[in-house]
Amino acid sequence: APYVTFPVAFVVGLVGSQLEWFLRGDPPPTAQEEKSISEQREDRKLQEIAGEDLTKVVSLKDKLEFAPRAVLNRNRPEKS
């Protein structure tokens, strides 16, 4: 079965790709110049950070939650 199926699948794939290339023509030039998803994500993060003041952060002493509430909720005193 593999000796018959592989050549048939190969020929069908080759004919299909040639037909698609013939119908669509050359790919648009912008497809090669597009940024990858990771580059787009990095650009978006940089734009979000650009307007913020990165020197103003919350002190670790002021943060009460270091672990999920379900783990330490019983032993932690209530903040008033």
Q: State how far the Cα of 4 lies from the Cα of 11, in Å rounded to an integer.
A: 11
Q: Assign residue 25 a region: left if phi > 0, alpha if psi is -120 to 50, beta otherwise?
A: left
Give the global pTM: 0.33
In order of 52, 61, 71, the CA distances from 57 in angstroms are 11, 12, 26
pLDDT of residue 69: 59
Per-residue pLDDT of the chain (80 residues; tens, 9 = 90+): 888 999 999 999 999 988 988 888 766 556 556 778 898 899 999 988 887 887 888 777 676 665 555 655 565 556 55
DSSP 16: H
Q: State how far the Cα of 56 lies from the Cα of 59, in Å rounded to an integer.
A: 9
pLDDT of residue 37: 86
